[in-house]
Structure 1
């Protein structure tokens, strides 16, 4: 009887804080309802669609910063039709927009997939046009242009191939500037011709610097066949003269009137005027139905532009007025019913946009003030929606008053009160279930799951709190992606984590995966240390039976080697440098670690001892994605700083990395080195350094996937011997000039930097 009273009293003690916290939470919840506007998602951009019937908004309130939430609204009912998400990296933002075929294309950038061309249809569907084929530099937004309804991209692929791409009518076309016959020499740099995308020229253009020191001008747009127009700058021709000549040539090729361009005239009162670019002469003012002063020009499509400005010569004394002008027919459409709702300052804002598809009477507007609007010029109906107005559509009536929906939204915000209330409720429930039995059951279950699965590297692609708390720590629902037996898979894992644990989307983790049940659990650092003590890597004696070729990489060749052992095929991707050759029929020692196979030694008769290997850590200080992917593995060239105590060694190391794994500068990766190699390289790095010329190169198989080379090099008349593994992406050839560390006494040396050839 006494035990029952003690148990009841203990449960009552747990309920006291629950009751108090419930009172505090109720008051906090009512304050949340009163200030609901402070908790709404913030829209970064809004655009009109479907003739003004729909509006699309973009929000980047995701705390991990790796996606934009995209809302499609019905402007008639002021409700959300659909919510989707598009990928982006941490700080990329949104690129310029283009309306095409009753939809809109908005670029974003993702570190893994590169440029994303997101094509939003007015029906709510979205498709991505680039499909991971357009990797451009991190300053990506400066390489993308919106011009007369097209999207133009100029960039350099990871393989140093310059290209110009165009999206028109929902179709992506791409031209490699290095294709044979297009240019007389290899392109080495591409720059926008200043002002050509801002109506200084009839057709935008790029200046292409060639390897032979000549300059070519190429059109910024493609013709119906998907081709560029090219013009070479003459030897004694000035830069501006060449650009003017190219402007006239490109205008003729693409059907624009270079003698009658519509431009902003800088002379007060700044009416839009015709300009003859061939003769460099200004013509008369464009005869708009009513005068438009302080005019600004917005290019819309291949035939039309918007002339917008003030009704008065001094814009402070007038209102905004404007007309859509068809340059071919000479006809005007009045857009004033929309423009008169805007302050004149919006016309001078660099973020203000106007869009119109040829043949449509709808003119769309997006302002730097985050407003969006449209005008139907046939019936003279216009509407402008402010950012605050649209964000108000994201709240239903139930969310603005006491209801289950608003309480759930409040709870999802988290906060100290919610967390503590949930913790104490959980403690109360936990006390009834048995504090002594549950932990032991959880430990046994977890250990059983770990023993039943395969240890695999995975990447977190999504994570959300489940709403459950254990010891004031949240349970999180993770979605991880990984590669197993050549297939890309995803699995859900629920794990209680600490708020101090900096886990985030994109992190690489180790899991134990049960193939039969398609379930997995995380493996902690302590688990890995324990597993490393109990498990040993497996060495496999195999024969090279087949070689697949995947193209050139710098001075090497990308290969997929197929080794056979006991009737099983083991594929290993490698880079073969010049002067070294993998041959079928030769034997190799492979090493199998946690389901991954790599070459331990090939073509080298030395004794195989894994005990001679040191397990070190290396920090990635620079990385470059190479244009080779073999079975979902991306070739990356990494510069790694290896540390052991006070000693530091920098190495170039190419590696085929599964596409689902995130590798970035600052990532720490495991590195294996033989003890003798580490000691020799550490010793040589403490000596002198300098340039040396390669006299001979001989190979003795490989260590790992790196060929082992015997190199003779000459510096200042002295011969030095280099015996080390080389980076196959760079390779070493006779005549190369290397930067070496050397010992004048022993005449030993090692490579620090490879030839720049």
Structure 2
């Protein structure tokens, strides 16, 4: 007891000078600085590269600080603030006329549509007239230079608003005989803002149980285009009819869309949305492989990608295509300064006003740039570079840089503080961190080894003492793979421990290293606690490591970072689907092993009440020749049952090598209730061979990509929405065996293409 008290007092003695010196140094640093140094969340180029705007969340108060710079002189022109709340970020931006529109959200004012002019003038267009739910950003879209808002006002009035050419127009769907019945819900038609249709489309549920489709944009008179779904018409057929109608109304060519083609080497291609038919590749001046298509304005798109078929061996190039004239402009002077990973980042955006030769860029890595395509002049700047412009103006801004500048000046306070902090760290880290590191190493050995029962056949003290307790050398005998083996284990024990020769013990044995550790009751309790699933939100994919081909897929090791910790997840990536660095995922941690719970997609959440906890019986096991982090890829066929309903699923898993999975094993399975009901219903209907016409993905559920597939049987198209087995994959031209419903034109995959 006295010993513990002495250590505690000793720690306090060490802390007193550190606390006092920290107070003195902070006051000294406060005299060195005068205000905080902003960290820019986004930067944008304006005025043909002559201006730059930077936005930083203010650390105190609900606002963004906005700075306008002259990039040539690297100095500040003016600054201002805009409203926001603590949770809300910045919405999608659009360039219009001489400025840029960036929405934010404030609980008191609602949606703020901030119009920043290159002159420094700022207009707020909404004026408190548009309130949205907490997930407001999912109701705001940028499309071909327009800003689109779809939402519900506090008095339950549904509306669609458009900002074009710096002007806001808003249509109340309950007024002016817009619809035959009162609207009760509005949703985006999936993919219509990503060029699945020539014009974005919303679906509107009406009070009389009918469904209407409305255009996502307004005409010159500020009106919407509306189409009602027929009584006996399928949803997908109605969506296609609406897309064709709206394209004609607004003057877009629905039969010649420029879209990303998922077939290797992924050149941009023309697509006929009226007939669901792919045409030829877009004839760019030089081939653009692994291409992405960015919608710029009503007539132009940017096609950007790699100079060679394997993007790892090439550089980034791209062209602006005028879809009406067929003319190209070369944007490669800008694009060649970007990495392919940044091009594929979901936050990367390009902007261009119709009739201008200037293409603007904003990168997901907090960069911005522009290119004057006629002169092939380009510039790219990072947020770090711009932040230093403020430091140049005032070296006494609060920041890591200014603190480092202060620290480098030295002085008696800094030197004394550094010495005492070093002493404290050396003292406490040796006490606090070392045991945790040893415990973590021990738990890893226990998890990775084979759990085997053995018997102590010899024991003796090694002569080493730790905390006045002896280290004992044990010889444990056990049977492994039909052979008797012996292993030596050293462990510190108490003199009061009742361990004797002949005692039965549990060990975790590493076959490769021929080493083992004891498994104690405390270890088992800790393992039971760690087995509870833990959800990890907002994990960022930072690195992708390839591990070879698996059928038509590729085995990958994904590296995620969340809340300062790193996680690795082995997956199989099917052809046509792509994991991308910079994107976010929700992970689930089970017994220390991370798996993907949800990756990418539209961010929709699944309620716990909508999930079914089922059991599946393994009816076939195939080991695949891929091992990642001591986990072997296995392809399992599982029969899932719920009452009299049964579903057969193919499912690939990375299984720890020390865990055996055999035919007849029962494993837990989670499915969405809606998916289970749809699949059991369709399995009771017709079946047949169907040819795949198109495949699109919406992230993953678990490690299985969620696919939207259009397939054809005897000239009739069927729509399949389900997770697919990545080892098999689905590509255009495949012949699948599906179950289908002729009335709803829904289908599900029973067998994949061989």
Name the TM-score, length of structure 1 as normaliser. Answer: 0.49
Kindly name which structure, 1 or 2, has the bigger radius of gyration based on alpha carbons: 1
